[in-house]
Structure formats: C-alpha cells, structure tokens
C-alpha cells in the first residue's frame, strides 16, 4: 500500500476552510480572499489574535531582516503569524479562549466581539500583497501557544531595553 502524502496545496485548502468557518458565512470569506487577499474574520470563535509590535519582535530576533524574522518566529512560536505591509506588528494566532486569560495588559489579545483582517492562506511576502503570512499555518487548528507569544514579547522588551 502506498501512503498518501498531503500536498502543500491540500494543506492550504484545509487551513482556508478551517479559518473561513469562523465567519458567519464562510463563502464570503472565500470571496473576499479571492477579491482582496484579505477576509474580515471574527476573533474568539476558532482563534484569537495577539498583535505583537514589530519593534519587540525585531529586538527578540536581534534583526529586522524580514526573512530572518520570519524564520525566528517560526522557530520560537511554531504557529501561524501574519503581517501587513506596514510592518508595524506581527499577528500571532492563538487559541480562541486566550483573551480571557491573557496577562499582558498593555498588549491586547483580540477575542470575542472583535474582527481581524486575515490574509488568504498561502500568501507570502513575495506575493507583493498588502497582507501575508510570515509563518504559514501548517494545519487547521495548529496555533501558537499563548505563553510562547507572551515570552516573545517580554524577551523583545528586555533586549530592546538593553540595546536602547
């Protein structure tokens, strides 16, 4: 018997379906991704989002070279992170209930009642779009661990304070 291998395209399709299920009408998310590359999805349904200031990410990574930052985020968070072309923050996807227990009062965790413009799965920096994945979501529901995101923020603050 030949084992079935899941292709990157199949994984991206599965991730897109999972993310779209957060929307009241998933079909509209697909339409928005097709038209604009972004879909406005409610946070707190399947995932929450922590916007991590770019200055703290760069300080923690000890670089502002974008491809090196992406590799660093992949290594330390192990979950999906997207960015907008303004590069002022990186957005880590964490479990839906994280906002109820988030301990960093000066960094929001976007949960129930808030919406986030999420890039179409598969978009990368090289696609030249206004929003893209710095770290791709490898599989549905495979998210960043909130404690690792908090640790990244605190590490960036410590390193930023010692360099500034």
Q: Is 122 domain-assigned?
A: yes
Mean pLDDT (whole number) for 149-162 = 90
pLDDT band at 2 (very low <50, low <70, confident <90, very high): low
pLDDT at 9: 87
The pTM (predicted TM-score) of the whole model is 0.93
Q: Is 74 domain-assigned?
A: yes
Contact between 116 and 110 (Cβ < 8 Å) = yes
User: pLDDT tens across 81-103, in order?
Assistant: 999 988 799 999 999 999 999 99
pLDDT at 38: 96
pLDDT score of 3 more than 80? no
Of 14, 100, 98, 86, whose CA–CA distance to 49 is shortest?
98
Q: Is 76 domain-assigned?
A: yes
Alpha-helix runs per DSSP H in the chain: 8-20, 26-36, 54-61, 66-77, 98-101, 146-163
Classify residue 2 by its DSSP letter: P
**How many whole angstroms separate alpha carbon 131 and alpha carbon 139?**
20
pLDDT at 163: 57
Domain residues for the domain of 131 are: 8-163
Instruction: Report the range of poorest mean pLDDT among 41-55, 123-137, 140-154.
Output: 123-137
pLDDT score of 161 more than 80? no
Q: Is 139 domain-assigned?
A: yes
User: pLDDT tens across 95-141, in order?
Assistant: 999 999 999 999 999 999 999 999 999 999 888 888 999 999 999 99
Of 46, 61, 77, whose CA–CA distance to 146 is shortest?
77
Q: Is 134 domain-assigned?
A: yes
Q: Is 2 domain-assigned?
A: no
Q: Is 39 domain-assigned?
A: yes
Structural domains of the chain, count: 1
């Amino acid at each position: 018997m030949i084992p079935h291998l899941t292709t990157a395209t199949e994984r991206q399709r599965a991730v897109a379906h999972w993310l779209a299920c957060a929307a009241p009408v998933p079909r509209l998310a697909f339409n928005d991704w097709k038209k604009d590359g972004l879909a406005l999805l409610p946070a707190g349904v399947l995932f929450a989002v922590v916007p991590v200031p770019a200055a703290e990410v760069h300080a923690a990574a000890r670089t502002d070279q974008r491809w090196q930052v992406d590799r660093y985020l992949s290594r330390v968070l192990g979950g999906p992170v997207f960015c907008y072309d303004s590069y002022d923050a990186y957005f880590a996807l964490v479990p839906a209930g994280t906002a109820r227990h988030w301990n960093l009062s000066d960094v929001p965790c976007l949960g129930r009642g808030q919406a986030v413009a999420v890039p179409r799965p598969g978009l990368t920096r090289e696609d030249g779009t206004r929003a893209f994945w710095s770290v791709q979501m490898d599989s549905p529901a495979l998210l960043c661990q909130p404690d690792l995101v908090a640790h990244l923020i605190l590490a960036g603050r410590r390193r930023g304070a010692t360099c500034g």
